[in-house]
A = this chain, B = another copy of it.
Amino acid sequence: MKGADDLLADRAAAAGEPGSALRPAPAPTPDTTAEQILAAAARLFGRQGFRATTLRQIAENAGIKAGSVYYHFDGKEEIAARVLDAGIHALTAAVRSHVDGLPAGSGARARLAAAVEGHLWGMLHHGDFTAAHIRIYRNVSDAARARHQPVRSAYTRLWDELLSDCAAAGVLRRDIPVPMVRQFLVGALNWPVDWYDPRRGPFERFAAQITALVFDGIVTEPELAH
């Protein structure tokens, strides 16, 4: 055990912070063993799923033996809960930093677009933790999910606020309840984890395409009765 709670949030925040490049590097920050375990677990969880990933694999990828893992964590379930937390923290930090990076006074629509780009950015750049989150969330024990739940709920609330602002500003379509829009939107944004291929073009273009799809849909004219 130690205070490894929000490793990724810290790292993401530091990366986005202007002065960070100037600070004297506080030792080349070799990852602690606990961090290496979490990183290895996230990578394997994302590729193989929760049950198919063994502690021995995690340990091997972290450069230690299986028994040593228990010095740092209570067991597999606790590791999973931490990975879930880190995945959401990475997304939250990415969304916040994209939204906060807008010019002051930006409208609700621009903020929503920035949030979409931020979510995609966090998902495809901290891919190990976010992909693991999407992959294992429904497979971990009820206890681990319950433990993680507040973190996830806060992220849901963040989106509900962004969307409520849009609704109040008249940006959002009015014929569909906001919670349903949120579920549709975040779901649609999560799927690219399965098929995004960075070799097919720059991330910015990809994000713009996805934003266009969720904002304006796939057809050219408004929906008629059918």
User: Which A residues fall within an 8 A CB radius of B?
Assistant: 48-52, 109-110, 112-114, 135, 138-139, 166, 170-176, 180-181, 183-185, 187-188, 190-192, 194-195, 209-223, 226
Known: A138-B194, A173-B212, A173-B218. 9 other contacts (CB 8 A): A49-B49, A49-B138, A176-B218, A180-B209, A184-B191, A184-B213, A188-B191, A215-B217, A215-B219
Partner of A173, one of B138, B139, B172, B219: B219
Q: Which residues of the other chain, B, contact A170 by a CB distance below 8 angstroms? A: 220
27 contacts between A and B (CB under 8 A): A48-B139, A49-B51, A49-B139, A50-B51, A51-B51, A109-B219, A109-B226, A114-B226, A138-B194, A171-B220, A172-B218, A172-B219, A173-B212, A173-B217, A173-B220, A176-B209, A180-B209, A184-B192, A185-B218, A212-B223, A214-B217, A215-B217, A215-B218, A216-B217, A216-B219, A216-B222, A216-B223
The minimal Cβ–Cβ distance linking A103 to chain B, given in whole angstroms, is 11
Q: Are B166 and A219 in contact (CB under 8 A)?
A: yes
The minimal Cβ–Cβ distance linking A115 to chain B, given in whole angstroms, is 12
The minimal Cβ–Cβ distance linking A223 to chain B, given in whole angstroms, is 5
The minimal Cβ–Cβ distance linking A36 to chain B, given in whole angstroms, is 25
Q: Which residues of the other chain, B, contact A219 by a CB distance below 8 angstroms? A: 109, 112, 166, 171-173, 215-216
Q: Are A184 and B212 in contact (CB under 8 A)?
A: no
Partner of A212, one of B171, B172, B176, B214: B176
